[in-house]
Amino acid sequence: CSQADLGPISINWFEELSSEAPP
Amino acid sequence: DSLKQTERADVPAGDNLNPGNLQLVSKLKNPSGSCSVDVGAVWWEIAGVKQPCIVTACEYAVSLWKPLGPGQWREMYSWLFTEVPVLQIVSMPDVYNLVCVALGNLEIREIRALLCSSDGESEKQVLLSSGNIHAVLGLTERRLVSSSRTLCDQQVEIITFAEDGGSQGKQFLMPPEETVLTFAEIEGMQEALLGTTIMNNVVMWNLNTGQLLRKMHVGDSYQASICHKAYSEMGLLFVVLSHPCAKERGPSGSPVFQLIAVNPKTALSVDVMLYYLPQGQAGRFLEGDVKDNFAAAVLTSGAIAIWDLLLGHCTALLPPISDQNWSFVKWSGTDSHLLAGQKDGNIFVY
């Protein structure tokens, strides 16, 4: 497996998911 | 590097393994006649000094043992339950002078805080939560998360409690559609929480807002995985799972523990490491505990096996003692001890 299998990675994933998820 | 391939690290033959890495330092016997169900460790202030104590749980009694000297323990407090039996001790990561327990039959019906009076003379208990509770986990900062089913839906709630066990506040998290089986904190991220569901999804919450951030499917190879540990590194989430429902299959059997990497942004995951039993050993995961880089599991064979999660292989095997199978195993949160218990009330400290 390579990182390509996991798609684009973001260090700030928690903040980004929190801003995208319904409140 | 660890992502480049799913490792199947060298597995030493079973006969090379022994409990040599584990040194028996003491043993204590739960005096209660009922069946032993769990063990744990807690800091308790005794005569102004915080000491690492052991907590043992039988069906109808929970006892606190204080250290007397090398290898010696004295039962200090005992909380008794007459109606609903004890199912498990709920460890609280940074709490002292307080033990949480889950009571129930097949499912948890109550979660109680066990304390002693301010003069230290008598035991007391406080009801924290009740209902049809599926999963519970003690969190940092005196918080406790639980999931329960009502007639219509599922509730996921966080209780914050004070030093005297009284509730300070309650917060609800957005529930997933599927039943939550286990919870796990993400190390170093107090605002995040993970759960595993009955459909083998890992779900994630923002504890500050209660938002359900993600549902991530982690494969169909195993059902109803348990999440033991999670940490975030370089934009990926690493999760240690075990598989109580895995069938024993193939010459190596099924892995007892599994380390996966998940990209939270895409919900895609890959296996990083699979942790198998040594060759020649049979059994599957019954229950276990993970602390730092070490995983311990009670197997259906009655033995306890220990893995170094970084080395990737089993490093010790503890066969049943005195023809008594092991029933439960915990890493002590107060020191480097492994606590192993048998149903008849014998607790061994390694």
Which chain A positions have a beta carbon within 8 Å of B6's beta carbon? 1
Res B220 pLDDT > 90: no
| Sheet containing B304-308, strands listed edge to edge, beginning at the edge strand earlier in sequence | B285-291, B294-299, B304-308, B314-318
CA distance B269 to chain A (A): 6
A14/B206 Cβ within 8 A: yes
Which chain A positions have a beta carbon within 8 Å of B7's beta carbon? none
B234/A17 Cβ within 8 A: no
Which is higher by pLDDT, A10 or B5? A10
A8/B213 Cβ within 8 A: no
Which tens digit of pLDDT belongs to each residue from B80-124?
Answer: 999 999 999 999 998 999 999 999 998 999 999 999 988 878 999
Which tens digit of pLDDT belongs to each residue from A1-23?
Answer: 456 689 999 999 999 999 999 88
* Residue in chain B lying closest to A21 (CA): B213
Q: B172 and chain A: CB distance < 8 Å anywhere?
A: no
Mean pLDDT, residues B169-198 taken together:
94
A17/B269 Cβ within 8 A: no
Poorest-confidence range of B36-40, B111-115, B213-217, B331-335?
Answer: B331-335
Res B222 pLDDT > 70: yes
Mean pLDDT, residues B228-252 taken together:
84
Q: Which residues contact B87 (CB under 8 A, 6 or more apart)?
A: B37, B38, B101, B102, B103, B104, B108
Res B4 pLDDT > 90: no
**Using 50, 70 and 90 to split pLDDT, how confident is the model at B167?**
confident
φ/ψ bin of B43: left (φ > 0), alpha (ψ from -120 to 50), beta (otherwise): beta
B3/A2 Cβ within 8 A: yes
pLDDT > 70: percent of chain B: 92
Q: A4 and chain B: CB distance < 8 Å anywhere?
A: no
If one counts every other C-beta atom within 10 angstroms of the C-beta of residue B345, the result is 17
Tokens coding B34: 């009922």
Among residues B58, B174, B163, B60, the alpha carbon closest in space to that of B115 is found at B163
Residue B150, pLDDT score: 83
**What is the count of residue pairs from A and B with beta carbons less than 8 Å apart?**
68
Which tens digit of pLDDT belongs to each residue from B19-59?
Answer: 657 899 999 988 777 799 999 999 999 888 999 999 999 99
Residue B6, pLDDT score: 39
SS3 readout for chain B: CCCCCCECCCCCEHHHCCHHHCCCCEEEECCCCCCEEEEEEEEEEECCEEEEEEEEEECCEEEEEEEEECCEEEEEEEEECCCCCEEEEECCCCCECCEEEEEECCCEEEEEEEEECCCCCCEEEEEEEEEEEEEEEEECCCEEEEEEECCCCEEEEEEEECCCCCEEEEEEECCCCCCEEEEEEEECEEEEEEEEECCCEEEEEECCCCCEEEEEECCCCCCCCEEEEEEEECCEEEEEEECCCCCCCCCCCCCCEEEEEEECCCCEEEEEEEECCCECCCCCEEEEEEECCEEEEEECCCCEEEEECCCCCEEEEECCECCECCCEEEECCCCCCEEEECCCCEEEEC
ipTM, interface predicted TM-score of the complex? 0.92
B3/A1 Cβ within 8 A: yes
Residue B173, pLDDT score: 98
**Using 50, 70 and 90 to split pLDDT, how confident is the model at B251?**
low
Q: What is the mean pLDDT of chain B?
A: 89
**Using 50, 70 and 90 to split pLDDT, how confident is the model at B248?**
low
Nearest to A1 among B191, B264, B270 (CB): B270
Find which of A12, A18, A19 to mutate to test the B interface (most B CBs within 10 Å of its CB): A18
A10/B213 Cβ within 8 A: no
